[in-house]
Amino acid sequence: MKPPERHLPGQCQVANDVISLVGDKWSVLVVSTLGSGTLRFSEIKRAVEGISQKMLTTTLRGLERDGYLTRTVYPTVPPRVEYKLTPLGIELLGPVSALGNWAIANHARVLAARRAYDERAE
Amino acid sequence: MKPPERHLPGQCQVANDVISLVGDKWSVLVVSTLGSGTLRFSEIKRAVEGISQKMLTTTLRGLERDGYLTRTVYPTVPPRVEYKLTPLGIELLGPVSALGNWAIANHARVLAARRAYDERAE
DNA sequence: CAGTATCCCGCATGATACTG
DNA sequence: CAGTATCATGCGGGATACTG
């Protein structure tokens, strides 16, 4: 006779598995960047300011593994590798953008709260 | 004559400032837990399985500072401290839940993508 | 060009103990 | 009960150098 689970623990873990990607700063930026179309490795690196080569590689591999983007290698010299969102990646862009827009819209409120809190603490 | 910025870099940073909270596993779980109402410290600790006392304190302080919840101390013996979402915290629950639901709905696709990727790599 | 391979450091987090 | 304080540590992530 357990009470009904409020947060559906199993599903919470499931959700976290996907959401944790959103917490990854670089993943969000890379997915957003690819929202405008197919890009090469170096183009992404230029677009996502501040990312190191290592982190970009790691991030792209993770996103590819989870099915959010495809990686296409053209065996030319020098090599050319293109990255593109999959339908799944494009779908992900929806809720992520919604959250991003909420963040932008409410950032001032958060900043104000922080100032008030810090001031109160002196 | 710069071309128009595609990702509005300034706003990206702004968004990240808020979104990074979502990446924090504990913050999401705590906010979700408080979605059902006011709770005491020990009640949250019991509800959020696996969280240490230290991390719960840290998480709650951060959420309070950002204005997502209020902390009310009742000077009784023993002490009683209650946490409750602010209107801002309740609003945050919206886009976060949307993302969570997307995550739950599409988790199988991500798992399938991972299996395929790992299998391909052997 | 698009990576891999190392080295290394700092911080986030866990465990434990103590307290008003 | 609701915290702080302290110590220990693992690894995320940067810098650098090398390669097909």
Q: How many residues does chain B have?
A: 122
Give the residue on B whose Cα is nearest the Cα of A71.
B117
Model pTM score: 0.91
pLDDT band at residue B107, thresholds of 50, 70 and 90?
very high
**Residue A72: closest CA among A63, A60, A81:** A81
CB-based contact A63:A46 (threshold 8 Å): no
Residues 71-90 of A, Cβ under 7 A from nucleic strand C: 71, 78-81
Strands B69-74 and B39-40: unpaired
Contacts of B36 in chain A (CB under 8 A): 6
Domain B9-92, architecture per CATH: Orthogonal Bundle (1.10)
Please write the tens of the pLDDT for every residue from B17-69: 888 888 899 999 999 999 999 999 999 999 999 999 999 999 999 999 999 99
Is cis: bond before A78, omega within 30 of 0? yes
**Residue A34: closest CA among A96, A112, A79:** A96
What pLDDT is stored for residue B117 in this prediction?
Answer: 96
Question: Cα separation of A1 and B50, whole Å?
Answer: 24
What pLDDT is stored for residue A7 in this prediction?
Answer: 58
Cβ neighbors of B43 (< 8 A, separation 6 or more) are none
Query: Which of B22, B95, B113 shows the shortest C-beta gap to A66?
Result: B113
- Give the minimum alpha-carbon distance from B80 to chain A in angstroms, rounded to a whole number: 21
pLDDT band at residue A53, thresholds of 50, 70 and 90?
very high
What pLDDT is stored for residue B7 in this prediction?
Answer: 59
Q: Which two tokens stand for residue B53?
A: 């006392």
Strands of B39-40's sheet, edge to edge?
Answer: B39-40, B80-85, B69-74
Contacts of B96 in chain A (CB under 8 A): 99
Residues 9-28 of B, Cβ under 7 A from nucleic strand C: 24-25
What pLDDT is stored for residue A2 in this prediction?
Answer: 41
B55 Cβ nearer than 7 Å to chain C strand: yes
CB-based contact B86:B68 (threshold 8 Å): yes
